[in-house]
């Protein structure tokens, strides 16, 4: 019985912590820099983008093609399937300066890079 109440207390504490985290994250997301990329005829447009260091980034990828694509980058740690004729949002954490390559995992020919200064 005491075990159960102890468990309940711990769980409610965890829930409060989780709620606080969500509130904090919503605040942080607002400061993100947006990068618009269009995907059509199997190519990124533009395929070279840049952003400032130490700022979170939000990619908005518009897939104009008739088939799905997967926006992927090992160095950015992102992977997202974007259905045909739709837009995908990809969050990226604040980055250090450098070059980060991305590509379409369903089509190796489509490649691009993000330069962070």
Partner 1 sequence: MLAALIIVFREVFEAGLIVGIVLAVTRSVPRRNRWIGGGVLAGVVAACLVAAFAGALSQLFEGMGQELFNAAILAIAVIMLTWHNVWMARHGKEIAGEMRAIGQAVAQGSKSLLALAVVVAVLREGSEVALFLYGVVASDGGSAASLTLGGLMGLALGVFVCLLTYFGLMRIPPRALFATTTVLITLLAAGMAAQAVAFLERANWLMPLDTVLWDSNWLLSESSIVGRALHTLVGYTDQPTEMQLLIYVVVVLATVMLMRLVGSERRQHAVASG
Number of residues interacting with partner 1: please give it, by CB under 8 A: 31
State which of positions 9-68 bind partner 1 (CB under 8 A). Answer: 21-22, 24-26, 28-29, 66-68
Nearest-CA neighbor of 57 among 82, 81, 80, 28? Answer: 28
Whole-angstrom distance, CA of residue 101 vs CA of residue 43: 14
Partners of 49 in the β-ladder: 114
Is the Cβ–Cβ distance between 90 and 39 less than 8 Å? no
Q: Does 110 bind partner 1 (CB under 8 A)?
A: no
What is the C-alpha separation between 2 and 33, in angstroms, rounded?
50
- Region 66-105 residues binding partner 1, contact defined as CB under 8 A: 66-68, 70, 74, 77-78, 80-91, 93, 105
Q: Quick check: 113 binds partner 1 (CB under 8 A)?
A: no
Instruction: Kindly list the residues in this chain that would bind partner 1 in the complex (CB under 8 A).
Output: 21-22, 24-26, 28-29, 66-68, 70, 74, 77-78, 80-91, 93, 105-108
């Amino acid at each position: 019985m005491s075990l159960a109440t102890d468990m309940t207390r711990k769980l409610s504490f965890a829930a409060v912590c989780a709620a606080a985290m969500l509130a904090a994250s919503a605040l942080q997301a607002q400061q993100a820099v947006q990068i618009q990329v269009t995907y059509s005829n199997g190519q990124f447009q533009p395929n070279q983008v840049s952003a400032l260091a130490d700022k979170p980034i939000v990619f908005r990828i518009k897939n104009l093609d008739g088939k799905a694509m997967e926006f992927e980058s090992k160095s950015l740690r992102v992977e997202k399937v974007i259905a045909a004729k739709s837009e995908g949002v990809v969050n990226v954490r604040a980055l250090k300066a450098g070059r980060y390559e991305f590509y379409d995992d369903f089509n190796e020919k489509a490649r691009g890079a993000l330069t962070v200064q």
